Amino acid sequence: MTPRRTIPPLARGVLEKDRRALARLMTLVENHESAAEASMAAIYPHAGKAHVIGITGPLGVGKSSLISALLGHLRSKGRTVGIVAVDPSSPFSGGSVLGDRIRLDRAPGDNGVFIRSMASRGHAGGIAETTREVVRLLDAFGMDVILVETVGSGQVDVEIRDIASTSLVVVVPHLGDEVQSLKAGLFEIADVFCVNKGDLPGADGAARYLSEMVSLGTDRDGWRPRVVSASATAAQGISELWEALEAHERFLDEKKLRAGSERVRLGRELVELVRERVGDQLAQKIDDDPQLDRLLAQLQARTIDPHAAADRLFRAFRPET
């Protein structure tokens, strides 16, 4: 482990539970500032203890409301909680950023809670990396549970599995449409389903229907997704929901799957980071290469196709093996 005196001040601040240092370092990470690198390296040995739970599902199903309810439940049990809400910046999200902030800022003076909103800025790729670092910071800060909210559309949700050990997929009662729009991917990532808005008509039927669908599906490493009905706004089913999430975490420990799943996540992260470096280096080399002009001319003259041109450049720059 790094000797204490070599730890950069911001990282030391985080490890000493200084909330301002935590917020500051998160901002540096989000902005991809190189100043964050040494601090993140010093943080790393202190992370890896928290239960990280990803919460996803279609727009407006009540993900933030459930997080707020779970927060209350967890705090009443004395657990410390970090929350990361990834907000889309699409025009459809109107007001959700504000909505999240209003609800989530309700715990002033509670040092056992730290909430961070992140804009996804329309990028799928970059989210995973910075979200992962922000989660890591909350973990090193000492939060017991970290809840990560993402919007249920495409790429982002699959990436939640790269960050979280347990994934919660939230849906609402009018399941006919929901199941249609639920991408197969969401079904694959769910460890727990929550049918939220249980106070609305049709909730019981929806939960039964979902349970049937789950029972027809296959287990993943011996885990069959749980289906829980809840109402975030009526504060119903919240302890059952937490129990189901915790059951999955216990399952990971009992079946000794936690280390293996972390290994898979770290492997993906590593490949991603190396790919980024190789890509940057390659782009620079290609930019400087005189062959580029010739190939571009050939492409425009339609005497070569892009794949063949790429093959040629790739052969020229492939690292020695």
Ligand X SMILES: Nc1nc2c(ncn2[C@@H]2O[C@H](COP(=O)(O)OP(=O)(O)OP(=O)(O)O)[C@@H](O)[C@H]2O)c(=O)[nH]1
Residue number with CB closer to Mg ion (39 or 150): 150
Residue number with CB closer to ligand X (43 or 87): 87
Of 131, 154, 171, nearest to 269 by C-alpha is 131
Choosing from 232, 241, 245, 295, the residue that interacts with ligand X (CB under 6 A) is 232
Secondary structure of 55-67 as H, E, C letters? EECCCCCCHHHHH
* Least distance from ligand X to the Cβ atom of residue 96, Å: 3
Helices 238-254 & 63-76, crossing angle to 10 degrees?
A: 80
| Measured torsion, CA atoms of residues 9, 163, 254, 74, in degrees rounded to the nearest 10 | 70
Count CA within 13 A, CB hemisphere, residue 280: 5
* Least distance from ligand X to the Cβ atom of residue 122, Å: 15
Q: Does residue 61 belong to the site contacting ligand X (CB under 6 A)?
A: yes
Both tokens assigned to 40: 């993140």
Choosing from 56, 80, 167, 196, the residue that interacts with ligand X (CB under 6 A) is 196
Q: Does residue 196 belong to the site contacting Mg ion (CB under 5 A)?
A: no
Is-contact 197 177, C-beta < 8 A?
A: no
Choosing from 12, 18, 60, 183, the residue that interacts with ligand X (CB under 6 A) is 60
Residue number with CB closer to Mg ion (84 or 135): 84
Choosing from 39, 56, 64, 150, the residue that interacts with Mg ion (CB under 5 A) is 64
* Least distance from Mg ion to the Cβ atom of residue 89, Å: 13
- Distance separating alpha carbons of residues 193 and 195, to the nearest angstrom: 7
Q: Does residue 118 belong to the site contacting ligand X (CB under 6 A)?
A: no
Contacts of 99 (CB under 8 A, 6+ apart): 64
H/E run at residue 226: strand 226-229
| Interface contacts to ligand X, rule CB under 6 A | 59-65, 93, 96, 99, 151, 196-197, 199-200, 231-233
Q: Which residues bind Mg ion (CB under 5 A)?
A: 63-64
